[in-house]
Amino acid sequence: MSRRNKHEGHENHERWLVSYADFITLLFAFFVVMFASSQTDKSKARQISEAVEKALADGKSVGVPPAVAKILGGTVDDKGQGNAQMKGPGGAQRATKDAPPDDVVELMPSLKVLSSTLEQEIKEGKVEVSLEPRGLVVSLKQAAFFPSGGDVVDPATYPTIEKLAEALNAVGNPVRIEGHTDSQPIHTARFQSNWELSAARAIAMMNVLVNKFKVDEKRMGIVGYADTEPEADNDSPEGRAKNRRVDVVIANRLVKQPKPPAATPPAASK
């Protein structure tokens, strides 16, 4: 047998190490991406992403596996893959799509502050605080803030409302005050229906926030929902009590300021 045939017949039994190394690198990349995606701290997640990108950029000179470069980095191919996770998990394209617009203000700090300052009221069932897609919602229960069938805010609740006002004044977001009732009909000399009662309570709460605690009224909006947006079943006293409320909603978007009108040139004298 010739020397050439002997050379061609030689097998490399260590080729499996290359595939194994690629697999381990992919597994590491996967867990890094999952960890970064789970971080609620956006700055930390961004730092992790940047660190991985830098490591990949440095690693290209020593031969980053093509599969890893396809997911976490590399140049863009004809399918748009690569280039800082453009199509991969947590990639640049996804980050751009999921990133909040520039006019969105982070409400998580306000949620933490209100949950802490209103801790006692929350325990007593007077207030509920939640972060929803529409914004930060502070639900003020009627039994604590208004007399039955009335729209006068109980002065004993002013300390609680003051805490809310401080949180409102700390952000520039628009505020919507929503009045809600249960399904029990009302017909009094003052209120002909639950529509009137729900709107009157929202207006009363706005007046306290504006006149007593100096919240800018230009940020305010008033809505009366009557019994059309219940939180619980109206068939039980407990459910009806939960539905009688005023929700103060800190919207998750800033109001875009209208452009000032163009100056009108003075009319020419005749």
Collect all residues with Cβ–Cβ distance below 8 Å to 253 and sequence separation of at least 6.
101, 103, 104, 105, 173, 174
Contacts 24+ apart (CB under 8 A), 191-200: 191/149, 191/151, 193/226, 194/226, 194/227, 195/224, 195/226, 196/224, 197/149, 197/151, 197/224, 197/226, 198/224, 198/225, 198/226, 199/223, 199/224, 200/151, 200/224
How much is the pLDDT for 29?
77
Number of domains within the chain: 2
Verify that 88 and 116 share a domain, yes or no.
no
Verify that 141 and 244 share a domain, yes or no.
yes
Predicted TM-score (pTM) of the model is 0.57
Verify that 239 and 114 share a domain, yes or no.
yes
* Domain C-terminal end among 71, 95, 119: 95
**CB burial class (10 A; 0-12, 13-18, 19+) of residue 64?**
buried
Place of tokens 């940047």: 50
How much is the pLDDT for 91?
40
How much is the pLDDT for 100?
46
Residue span of the structural domain in which 10 resides: 3-95
Collect all residues with Cβ–Cβ distance below 8 Å to 67 and sequence separation of at least 6.
22, 26
Residue 260 lies in a domain: no
Verify that 158 and 183 share a domain, yes or no.
yes
Verify that 160 and 230 share a domain, yes or no.
yes
Strand duo 127-132 + 220-224: pairing: unpaired
Verify that 132 and 19 share a domain, yes or no.
no
Verify that 23 and 149 share a domain, yes or no.
no
Verify that 117 and 239 share a domain, yes or no.
yes
Verify that 77 and 112 share a domain, yes or no.
no
Residue 58 lies in a domain: yes
Residue 122 lies in a domain: yes
Helices within 74-193 (DSSP H only):
92-98, 108-117, 119-123, 142-145, 158-169
Verify that 151 and 64 share a domain, yes or no.
no
Verify that 125 and 228 share a domain, yes or no.
yes
Residue 238, H or E segment: helix 237-243
Tell me, what amino acid is at 144?
A
Residue 222 lies in a domain: yes
Backbone conformation region of residue 260, classed left if phi is above 0, alpha if psi is from -120 to 50, else beta:
beta
> What pLDDT tens digit does each residue of the chain (270 aa) get?
555 555 555 566 677 777 777 778 888 777 777 766 665 555 555 666 666 666 655 554 445 455 444 444 444 444 444 444 343 443 433 333 344 444 445 788 889 999 999 999 999 999 999 998 889 999 999 999 999 899 999 999 999 999 999 999 998 899 999 999 999 999 999 999 999 999 999 999 999 999 999 999 999 999 999 999 999 999 999 999 999 999 999 998 754 444 555 555 555 544
Residue 102 lies in a domain: no
Residue 100 lies in a domain: no
Residue 13 lies in a domain: yes
The distance in angstroms from the start CA to the end CA of the chain is: 115
CA 48 to chain centre: 22
Q: What share of the chain is helix, strand, coil (3-state, %, to 5)?
A: 45, 10, 40
Residue 268 lies in a domain: no
* Planar angle of CA 236, 119, 183, nearest 5 degrees: 20
